[in-house]
Structure 1
């Protein structure tokens, strides 16, 4: 799906076309794999985002209880970790391909186009939600009232969205790599700030509920939670969601990436399948802690402002919990997440509209995204939107899972659709060359008639029927919509296995399979040559860079210590006001120090590698 520059490494091979392949279409070579620390940092940074403010407040508004939150989020996030580890990572490590490339290999051009269209829709909506969240912080600078309706009711807010949104669009078009690198620095800071914000607000919340600023036991925490945060009563005054719903959402929140297999693009770089467990850095620190912290911050802000959590937006909450650092956390978290998803949306759209450049398509998609971002209902409904988005792509994950794991075990042929197409093609040519030629030709350049003639109709039908099945269950309210992805996934697996067996998967394709093996061996030889000619990354072990990293970590430590002092050394409200004031001031200074030193160290490492390249 993602266009890359062509390799300039040549090789002696029976398939010279391999040198012309797009690197994105090839398996990741051994010399480019990463260790577990890479994935722990990656997931910690990606899964602590601006959405956590919204989701944390949503659990409060839905009326979960404190025990349901503490246990349900833990169980649900562990199930999500296991889903990555047992489903996504094995396929990614065994194929070393992204889902987009592997899906094209399994299901052909038409299916890939449909899937890319679904990705445009999903990532556009998520990007719009993140832009709106960022604007909730910017609006405070202009004294714009909170946007509590589904539509904007302030013209200046619309202008703010347009301004912030177009910056996001331009960065996604021209400067995404810099933002992606900067986003990697944000993970540790975001985790510290979420924890610190909850610690800084909790004494005020405790004083309002139990009449004292300090806790004497864990039961005090449960009491405060039950009475002022997770009360078991929703915003309409009715009994709220229970333990099973909390577990279901925590599991389903990332259905797109684990059951839907989107994260094959990341995990194909993992040296071992067990590295799927590194997603715990995002789920336990990012989602579990961040969602709980966001609920505490939202409830605390509501108490201090004598409001309700449904009348607040992320900007209100972050500013009250973190002071000036609150502006930074909402803007940065929303901005970096929006850029990443808008970039994905642009790539997906460009794969469909191949005659236009990625920048042109990204701009067009970005304009639509910014318009959507003007409507606050998008970010306020992020919880059901994420769940339904997962339901949209889960059937595709089921199709890939069936072909990869189930077909070889029951005697069906993996990649049967591609083999059948090759068999009906030019039989007098080398199958290996034909396979290589297929990879070097953009699928989107085929005529529509050719696409339909060679389409894996079993895959397309399974996806469509799977969607009807899943959304039909939702319409009939057979079960909680948080769990709809499970029967939908299983149903699609069974359906696709049956349809594929009736369409050609039961046949054998020895010549085509031999050509596939020959091509894979040629690719390995090509990549071995790459490994010999390409230099390895140089790690910056200079004293200056070590000092910069040390300063960054000290800044985070100081921030957390000040928050702990505010939480545990505020004997009364007078002491609390002093301590929280110090936390606001020095927390902001430490934020500047952290980003300044971290970014400086990053630039030093990049310059060192450029000098050695």
Structure 2
């Protein structure tokens, strides 16, 4: 490598824009978002919509609109900035906001991702609890020492894996998406006949209108857990849109979409929004309502482990543990990275371990996962102003003659306008929440606009509209060095296209996990829903699904993992 590129080559890869030869196509993002957004939280969120008293039309229409708005936000806000800068948000902040801002931001991320990780571990613990006949945890704090021990044990496993083997978790999570999608759907299908029988005395549904009538009378009734009129369509739209504001308006998913070849690949988020945040939420609500009816209790206190058991039998324990485990691991890893940025002198493994201790402690308290809706919404409110600041720099400043990288050009230590903007935006957002002018699901929207306006005004006063010819020349030279380095790197990392594996063994392995792991459980669930003319036949079909689905699950994971390992070796 020549001397011109030496300084660039010595930089950490994360500090540089993504090299052109490392970009991915649409298929990569379709699978990525499908895997990430079908998680254990769906059990909690689905049940929450029931407890909040949404109607069936609010859910069907509201979730469709809200999730469409989320997809559009990824496409029109996050993706263009990610593709333009080719940087993660963490790196962007480090370059454009200064050390002080970066530490505050990463500190907020530590708190948010620690809480989400703890919630996911608690969800997994509810499944393990049922195996040992530990009483349900209906209070915000643990009422059973044994439950605390279970949560501690499950959490310790998650921490150890994140500490030592995150690559294994990533590989494992990549094969979970098709199975998770199937099982969330199958769970609702298995319990619909029982719900219908409790309402009409019949197990069969004859049309979609029958389903609407059933769901409206037994699940999405429009009455909340206190017997009062529930939330309306605007709240449903707002939550579906706001559930991932920290990722789209808040730009956290720049980390993923910076690898997209084209900005339109932001539309690939639809696999996560429209399945994980539409089908899975509705299916989870159906499962939760049916479970509450069978247990003769309120859906507000039914645990995910109980829901999964009644819907899927032994397979239900697997789905709750797997979905909770994979989600907790990825978020704990993010929390560790953020914590390392706050304490750079401590290694990632050490800081992950310290954060893990806090996660394990928090996982013993059911309060965390039962409040996942406000947690996600307020997380977005905290992080959205940062997205507004970056949006102003990248999309507005160039159009009004300001320098998007003025902080770098000026060469100062801290971006005071960014810090002040964040503080003002948080005061504004939480004041709106306190006076209750608009539903808290929508607080992110005015807060985002305020952050854009305030930062634009303050940045101009601090030099964003000034000229820095010498600094701009140096930066242009650096960018040329980066381009030259990437060109050299592309030659060094040139991938020899290997012949596609068409061996009989690989085909047999793939056919096994697809047919036995996906097709057969789908047929069994279809049989329960559409071929159960009476209660006796329904119980027979349901028991067959329970008995076979668990073995199909075991075969699925064994053969899908085998297929993955062969593809990595051969490809």
Match of 1:494 in 2: 453
CA contact (8 A) 1:108 1:418 kept: no
Label 1:66 to 1:523 Cα distance change in 2 as closer, same or farther (>3 A): same
Query: Distance between the aligned counterparts of 1:359 and 1:460, measured in 2?
Result: 29
Query: Distance between the aligned counterparts of 1:254 and 1:11, measured in 2?
Result: 44
CA contact (8 A) 1:203 1:576 kept: yes
Match of 1:562 in 2: 524
Match of 1:546 in 2: 507
Query: Distance between the aligned counterparts of 1:545 and 1:103, measured in 2?
Result: 45
Match of 1:64 in 2: 54
**For 1:515, which of 474, 480, 492 is the aligned residue?**
474
The runs of 5 or more residues in structure 2 that have no matched partner are: none
Match of 1:338 in 2: 328
Query: Distance between the aligned counterparts of 1:551 and 1:158, measured in 2?
Result: 39
What's the offset of the Cα at 1:535? Answer: 4.0
Label 1:477 to 1:178 Cα distance change in 2 as closer, same or farther (>3 A): same
**For 1:388, which of 374, 378, 382 is the aligned residue?**
378
Query: Distance between the aligned counterparts of 1:320 and 1:401, measured in 2?
Result: 46
CA contact (8 A) 1:18 1:523 kept: yes
What's the offset of the Cα at 1:357? Answer: 1.0
What's the offset of the Cα at 1:44? Answer: 0.3
1:393-404 aligned within 5 A: 393-404=383-394
Match of 2:563 in 1: 601
What's the offset of the Cα at 1:114? Answer: 0.8
Query: Distance between the aligned counterparts of 1:124 and 1:23, measured in 2?
Result: 26
Query: Distance between the aligned counterparts of 2:466 and 2:298, measured in 1?
Result: 63
Match of 1:590 in 2: 552
CA contact (8 A) 2:51 2:225 kept: yes
CA contact (8 A) 2:162 2:333 kept: yes
Query: Distance between the aligned counterparts of 1:528 and 1:69, measured in 2?
Result: 50
What's the offset of the Cα at 1:538? Answer: 5.8
Query: Distance between the aligned counterparts of 2:495 and 2:42, measured in 1?
Result: 37
What's the offset of the Cα at 1:105? Answer: 1.9
Deviates more, 1:521-530 or 1:152-161: 521-530
Structure 2 counterpart SS, 1:500: helix
What's the offset of the Cα at 1:413? Answer: 1.0
Deviates more, 1:266-275 or 1:532-541: 532-541
1:389-538 aligned within 5 A: 389-421=379-411, 454-536=413-495
Query: Distance between the aligned counterparts of 2:365 and 2:233, measured in 1?
Result: 31
CA contact (8 A) 1:116 1:351 kept: yes
Query: Distance between the aligned counterparts of 2:308 and 2:73, measured in 1?
Result: 32
Structure 2 counterpart SS, 1:311: coil
**For 1:321, which of 311, 328, 334 is the aligned residue?**
311
Structure 2 counterpart SS, 1:181: helix
Query: Distance between the aligned counterparts of 2:162 and 2:28, measured in 1?
Result: 23
Structure 1 counterpart SS, 2:570: helix
Task: Kindly provide the CA deviation profile for residues 316-335 of structure 1, in whole angstroms up to 9, marking residues without a partner as x.
Answer: 00011001110100000000
Match of 1:11 in 2: 2
The 4+ residue runs of structure 1 with deviation greater than 6 A are none
What's the offset of the Cα at 1:83? Answer: 0.1
Structure 2 counterpart SS, 1:310: coil
**For 1:100, which of 90, 114, 117 is the aligned residue?**
90
Query: Distance between the aligned counterparts of 1:96 and 1:256, measured in 2?
Result: 19
Query: Distance between the aligned counterparts of 1:546 and 1:113, measured in 2?
Result: 50
CA contact (8 A) 1:466 1:492 kept: yes
Query: Distance between the aligned counterparts of 2:232 and 2:200, measured in 1?
Result: 25
Label 1:537 to 1:331 Cα distance change in 2 as closer, same or farther (>3 A): farther
Match of 1:378 in 2: 368
Tell me if 1:573 matches 2:563.
Answer: no
The runs of 5 or more residues in structure 1 that have no matched partner are: 1-9, 422-452
Query: Distance between the aligned counterparts of 1:11 and 1:210, measured in 2?
Result: 78
TM-score using structure 2 length = 0.98
Structure 1 counterpart SS, 2:97: helix
Tell me if 1:266 matches 2:256.
Answer: yes
CA contact (8 A) 2:501 2:570 kept: no
CA contact (8 A) 1:346 1:358 kept: yes
CA contact (8 A) 1:11 1:19 kept: no
1:341-380 aligned within 5 A: 341-380=331-370
Match of 1:75 in 2: 65
CA contact (8 A) 1:11 1:526 kept: no
Query: Distance between the aligned counterparts of 2:491 and 2:408, measured in 1?
Result: 32
Query: Distance between the aligned counterparts of 1:576 and 1:225, measured in 2?
Result: 19
Task: Kindly provide the CA deviation profile for residues 525-557 of structure 1, in whole angstroms up to 9, marking residues without a partner as x.
Answer: 111111111142766524222322222111201
CA contact (8 A) 2:79 2:257 kept: yes
Task: Kindly provide the CA deviation profile for residues 171-229 of structure 1, in whole angstroms up to 9, marking residues without a partner as x.
Answer: 11101110011001111100000010100110011000121111122222122112110
Query: Distance between the aligned counterparts of 1:310 and 1:316, measured in 2?
Result: 13
Query: Distance between the aligned counterparts of 2:35 and 2:565, measured in 1?
Result: 19
What's the offset of the Cα at 1:55? Answer: 0.1
Query: Distance between the aligned counterparts of 1:311 and 1:94, measured in 2?
Result: 46
Query: Distance between the aligned counterparts of 1:216 and 1:174, measured in 2?
Result: 52
Query: Distance between the aligned counterparts of 2:378 and 2:138, measured in 1?
Result: 23
Q: How many residues align?
A: 568
Deviates more, 1:311-320 or 1:543-552: 543-552
Query: Distance between the aligned counterparts of 2:62 and 2:267, measured in 1?
Result: 19
Tell me if 1:115 matches 2:105.
Answer: yes
What's the offset of the Cα at 1:12? Answer: 4.1
Query: Distance between the aligned counterparts of 1:387 and 1:547, measured in 2?
Result: 45
What's the offset of the Cα at 1:590? Answer: 1.0
- Alpha-carbon RMSD: 1.1
Match of 1:218 in 2: 208
